[in-house]
Chains A and B, each alone.
Chain A
């Protein structure tokens, strides 16, 4: 499996992934114009994202349509419920950190 870090390390690739995630699905042709890069370049980025299992490609006529890799429903639900609680904890940690820094006189 291609490292997610390598896949997400490129800013253009992050934009491509964001577009696919927001649109629900996209082909290289559909993304080329709005992103202002060639269809070939988009296709290459989509290929790297697919290798990292971040998107799934399916042939549709002469093109390949990419969608975010589907997660099992249970995993998606636990992501959503887990993430909110995690942010409550992280923001509480930020608040404590502000107080600690104040106490240290920074």
Chain B
């Protein structure tokens, strides 16, 4: 599993709007990536599965948390299928 986080200098609502903006998602997805949404709970939690070119992909969990000075965005990316064992 891969984990990353970033703190954005805006309120959770604004961070959520930016995160779910089709413009940004198109950028994240690129040309060959497909995704299905598992859960979207504004402005706290976004869970989706994605993959590329028919390859097994991963489950991505994004959580937003208000912190002093902004919003903490935490991402965890857990592989499913072929890479699950090696990258667990």
- Select one of B15, B18, B28, B84 contacting A90, CB under 8 A: B28
Q: How many angstroms from the CA of A105 to the CA of B21 in the assembled complex?
A: 15
Contact indicator A79/B6 (Cβ below 8 Å): no
Min CB distance B71 to A, Å, is 9
Q: Which of B1-37 contact A (CB under 8 A)?
A: 2, 4-6, 8-10, 14-15, 17-19, 21, 23-24, 27-28, 34, 36
Given A94-B6, A98-B8, check contact A17 B19 (CB 8 Å): no
Closest residue of chain B to A67 (Cβ to Cβ) is B85
A93 to B27, Cβ gap below 8 A?
A: yes
Q: Are B79 and A102 in contact (CB under 8 A)?
A: no
Chain A window 64-106, contacts with chain B (Cβ cutoff 8 Å), 1 for yes, 0 for no: 0001111101011101100110011011011101100110001
Known interface pairs A21-B78, A24-B88; 10 further A-B residue pairs with C-beta atoms within 8 A, sorted by A's residue number: A11-B38, A21-B81, A68-B81, A76-B82, A76-B85, A80-B83, A90-B28, A90-B75, A94-B73, A97-B21
A-B contact pairs, 6 of them (CB 8 A): A4-B54, A79-B79, A91-B6, A91-B75, A98-B10, A101-B14
Partner-A contacts on B (CB < 8 A): 2, 4-6, 8-10, 14-15, 17-19, 21, 23-24, 27-28, 34, 36, 38, 49, 51, 54-59, 73, 75, 77-88
Binding site for B on A (CB under 8 A): 1, 3-5, 8-9, 11, 14, 17-18, 20-22, 24, 53-55, 67-71, 73, 75-77, 79-80, 83-84, 87-88, 90-91, 93-95, 97-98, 101-102, 106
